Chain A
Amino acid sequence: MGKVLELDRVYKAYKFGFIPKKKQVLKGISFYVNEGEIFGYLGPNGAGKTTTIKSILNLIFPDAGRITIFGEDSLKPRAREKVGFLPENPYFYDYLTGREFLAFYADLLGIHGQQKEEKIKYFLNLVGMEKAADLQLRKYSRGMLQRVGLAQALLNDPALVILDEPMGGLDPIGRKEFRDIIVNLKKEGKTVFLSSHILQDIEMICDRVAIILAGEIVNQGYLGDLISEKVLYTEVIVAGLPASEFSHLGESVSASGNRVLLKVYEEQHIDRIIRLVQEKNGKIISLIPRTETLEDIFVGLVKNQ
């Protein structure tokens, strides 16, 4: 498995104000993306996610460090030939219709004639925008722009697709559809670089993640390696017995009707609860061990900062 994208100690500072004040945005970012994986780039707002992506795409120039795309220096336009990009909050020429918009990008990418028509039709269909294809982009909702933006990013059949907060403006159904499209891209053998601050999205579909906080990569690796399999606590729902019966065994979180939700931290207590319920003719409704989630890691890291 080759490396599709590699960043090596990338630094970037912005200067603000009349008397320029330096603000270090990227502080030596290093990570790589393997071929064929969905890579999640996770970080809170203002951590440097978009700056990283802009550095990759040559929209800004890093102060130091090296970025390679398919082994090619990112400074060369040729490096972007096999890259598709959907920016956060996509902004496009709003006087164009959806179809004209895709035709413009197809022309830029050197796709012409019959192939161009076919591709436009295929991608409009893929993102579910064929009905609005002849509407001007100014009349599109944010979700619709996001969809047509994704079509634009896929036009050149890219091997690496970079998506910056792709599910930001979408409704739940739209998010699911987007997730399905991204997973399908992976099935087609494409590599996906996905930046987001929405943990569930990343946890659901990403193979590997890197977490960026205040311009530094604080953790990266396979999702399975990052999240420990250790059981943090077990959630037990018991029916037919009052919460007071279990006060010494676990923390009672809530009680409704005759049901009690318990948070049990020690494993041997679970056996005792089961026995107690059996003895007193109660009923165990559910018993779910909770392992660490990406959210736990993320919140922990942010708090440490």
Chain B
Amino acid sequence: MKVSTIARNTFKEAKRDRVLYLLLFFAILCFLLSRFLGLLTVGDRVKIIKDVGLASISLFGMLMAILMGTGLVYKEIDKKTIFTLLAKPIHRWEFLLGKYLGLVLTIFIMTVLMSVIFLVVLFLHTFTIEWSLLIAILYIFFELCLMTAVALVFSTFSTPILASLYSLAFYLIGHLSWSLELLIKKIKSGGGRAILKVLYIILPDLENFNFKTEVVHQLPIPTKLLGLSFAYGLVYTAFLLLLAILIFRRRDFI
């Protein structure tokens, strides 16, 4: 109950943030631009619209999660609103979880908004609705949930600018770490390979949530892969939230 009260209030606060609408505006701009980009392309125009559209949802959603998530806890401490809140009989984890869920709700609504606009733009071009696109969008949303948790972890101990940089770095590493897997396959077994393997396990692999290519090119996606990706997201997010709670648990609010 306390968690949902804080979540609702976080949502109330988040939806007032102008950054959110600015990013939404740019996302819409990209959807519209994709139609013109399609005109310049030789071959399948629809693929370009889908590609750019999904990439825009992913990119602007990620920016929303990072820019808002990193300020989430910091603002409460900076504006000292946290004093009266934590003086009430609530656990610190309830506060953090409430904040997280409030932002996830905001991100969810924004993702839905972007998706609807994207599908409408696409529909105006093809006059059909491709439901398979929703799978790609759903997994983009899972990735955004994970990124929100990342932003939350950094925001429990650092300023918004630094936390944004850290989160962005996490995002980039997450999308490039699959190349480690390739490297592991290419080098001979030994110390180097072992180190790379450990590194690959520790580093996030956000490409697990990327089904854009499969959906755009209408390739089959094994159900097992969908299940594994979902489980990966769930476990990783839970781990990040736990980490945030552990850091936050013993923090002094001077």
Contacts and interface: CB of A to CB of B under 8 A. Distances in A.
A241 B85 CA distance: 65
A173 interface: no
Interface in B1-53: 1-2, 5-6, 9, 12-13, 16
B253 interface: yes
How big is the B interface, by class? 20 to 34
Nearest to B4: A107
A78 B2 CA distance: 14
B74 to A, nearest CB: 14
Contact of A91 (B6, B80, B90): B80
B90 A107 contact: no
A61 B254 CA distance: 10
Given A95-B12, A95-B13, A80 B252 contact: no
A20 interface: no
A58 interface: yes
Given A14-B254, A59-B253, A81 B86 contact: no
A32 to B, nearest CB: 20
Interface in B202-254: 250, 252-254
Contacts of B87: 57-59, 80, 83, 85, 87
A110 B89 CA distance: 10
A58 B249 CA distance: 11
Contacts of B88: 80, 105, 108-109, 156
Interface in B59-107: 79-91
A77 B92 CA distance: 9
A168 interface: no
Interface in A88-129: 89-93, 95-96, 104-105, 107-110
Contacts of A152: 84
Contact of B6 (A54, A108, A149, A156): A108
A288 interface: no
Interface in A122-139: none
A60 interface: yes
Nearest to B250: A61
B252 A60 contact: yes
Interface residues of A, number: 33
B1 A110 contact: yes
Contacts of B90: 77, 108
A80 B89 contact: yes
Contacts of B254: 14, 54, 60
A162 to B, nearest CB: 8
A95 B79 contact: no
A10 to B, nearest CB: 14
A237 B227 CA distance: 93
Given A87-B80, A110-B1, A58 B252 contact: no
Nearest to B9: A104
Interface in A26-82: 54, 57-61, 77-81
Interface of A: 14, 54, 57-61, 77-81, 83, 85-87, 89-93, 95-96, 104-105, 107-110, 149, 152-153, 156
Interface of B: 1-2, 5-6, 9, 12-13, 16, 79-91, 250, 252-254
Given A57-B86, A80-B88, A105-B84, 17 more contacts: A59-B253, A60-B252, A61-B252, A79-B89, A80-B87, A83-B87, A85-B83, A86-B84, A90-B84, A92-B81, A93-B9, A107-B5, A108-B85, A108-B88, A110-B1, A149-B84, A156-B88
When A and B form their complex, which 8 residue pairs have the shortest distance between CB atoms, in order from nearest? A60-B252, A91-B80, A85-B87, A107-B5, A57-B87, A80-B89, A81-B89, A77-B89
